[in-house]
Amino acid sequence: MAVLPSLLIAFFLLVTGSALDATYLEGFLGNGNFEEQPKPSDLRKTVLKGKYALPKWELSGRVEYISGGPQPGGMYFAVAHGIHAVRLGNEASISQTMTVKPGSLYALTFGASRTCAQDEVLRVSVPPQSGDLPLQTLYDSFGGDVYAYGFRAKSNSVKVTFHNPGVQEDPACGPLLDAVAIKELFPPRPTRDNLVKNPGFEEGPHRLVNSSNGVLLPPRQEDSTSPLPGWIIESLKAVKFIDAKHFSIPYGLSAVELVAGRESAIAQILRTIPNKVYNLTFVVGDAKNGCHGSMMVEAFAAKDTLKVPFKSQGRGQFTTASFKFKAISARTRITFFSSFYHTRNNDFGSLCGPILDQVRVVSVA
């Protein structure tokens, strides 16, 4: 498997930990793609035997070491990143301790999918933080989904754990975890000519190599620990972080795709002056990813709203919209969502939608 040189360097720094204080951290965790194989004596069929059977990881409960493709018993596991993955059975977990900078914001990026039950959940914890990721919705019907989870480091060493809190009749049932990477994030600040933090979505989680389908930002992300710095992911479903390498992006190198209709919204809380009038500008378009049709993005700020229709021909076109709102308090929430659901023309199982970029709020003199 081809690994970018920068990832190798970051991986080296990650495992040695020596230069971390001064160095920016991005890349796989130790054996983050699970391609460093366990010793044959540490495996019973596919089940890993003991706490240290998988190099660089600590295991608990029934963890299987999986090769992608057809499985005995008729199941098929898609492994998008390399060949191997782990499967977390009933109440099983895998952990890794790593060196980080206290106070810094990080995002974990990982490939995860459910294997048998509809209601499988992956719990990610980096104490004292923890979050449950429902895997019920398959956003990409082919390669499995890639998610991000953000956390703020409380000390210079953190223990990252992926846990299956579920109990199914078949103890092997549970989420498949295919690759795990980390990236340090730098939360952007509002500027004099824009009150919005991270307005063009340029700061976001690591994209896995081979990950051509974007990174899902799970729902219920607080702005202080969001993997998309500054932004809150509200509601029930994910928003997708997409990059210029695989999608058409209006401005810069990344944007967000509103893939789950009204079930998912992206929001930010701005500092405003009550009774002052502001102008909100944003860009709506399509990512040139086979997502066609009549789209609509709804924007909300204080008591004002705007519906922006956009007819996607799947050519990577975009339009700029703006409206004025009057702040009613010292904090104003701006919110965006897609009015409709869309699926890709070439794959009706994959959710897609309008993209949002370049959000700007300035006060009107």
Q: Which is nearer to Ca ion, 89 or 200 (CB)?
A: 200
Q: Which two tokens stand for residue 65?
A: 């070491």
Nearest approach, Cβ of 321 to Ca ion (angstroms)? 16
User: Which CB, 124 or 255, lies closer to Ca ion?
Assistant: 255
Three-state DSSP state, 347: strand
Place of tokens 């702005």: 223
Q: Which of 82, 150, 200, 229 binds Ca ion (CB under 5 A)?
A: 200
CB of 250 to Ca ion, least distance (A): 7
Q: Which is nearer to Ca ion, 251 or 340 (CB)?
A: 251
Closest among 49, 68, 55, 46 to 28, alpha carbons compared: 55
Residue 31 CB, shortest distance to Ca ion, in Å, is 33
Enumerate residues 277-306 that contact Ca ion by CB under 5 A: none
- Specify the residue, 178 or 357, whose C-beta has the smaller distance to Ca ion: 357
DSSP-based three-state secondary structure for 7: helix
Supply the minimum distance, in Å, between the C-beta of residue 183 and Ca ion: 17
Q: How far is the CB of 71 from Ca ion (least distance, A)?
A: 40
Select from 251, 262, 304, 340 the one that contacts Ca ion (CB under 5 A): 251
CB 238, CB 220: distance < 8 Å: no
Of 252 and 316, the one with the shorter C-beta distance to Ca ion is 252
CA distance 328 to 315: 39
- Taking the least distance from each CB to Ca ion, the nearer of 34 and 201 is 201
Closer to Ca ion by CB, 141 or 319: give it.
Answer: 319
Minimum distance from residue 344 beta carbon to Ca ion (Å) = 22
In angstroms, the first-to-last Cα distance of the chain is: 56
Contacts 24+ apart (CB under 8 A), 218-222: 218/131, 218/133, 218/147, 218/148, 218/149, 219/264, 220/131, 221/150
Helical (H) or strand (E) element with 21: none
Please enumerate in sequence order all residues whose Cβ is within 8 A of that of 13, keeping only pairs 6 or more positions apart, or say none.
Answer: 19, 20, 23, 25
Looking at the Cβ atoms of 244 and 269, the one nearer to Ca ion is 244
Contact 32, 7 (CB under 8 A): no
Count the site residues for Ca ion by CB under 5 A: 5
Pick the stretch among 54-62, 79-87, 183-191, 246-254 that binds Ca ion (CB under 5 A). 246-254
Q: How far is the CB of 317 from Ca ion (least distance, A)?
A: 15
- Cα–Cα nearest to 25, from 34, 36, 12: 12
Helix, strand, coil: what percent of the chain each, to 5?
Answer: 5, 45, 50
Does the protein bind Ca ion through residue 188 (CB under 5 A)?
no
252 binds Ca ion (CB under 5 A): yes
Site string (90-129) toward Ca ion, x via CB under 5 A? ----------------------------------------
Q: Are 273 and 365 in contact, with CB atoms under 8 Å apart?
A: no
**At closest approach, how far in Å is the CB of 237 from Ca ion?**
22
Chain residues 342-361 in contact with Ca ion, contact rule CB under 5 A = 357
**Binding site residues, Ca ion, CB under 5 A:** 200, 251-252, 255, 357
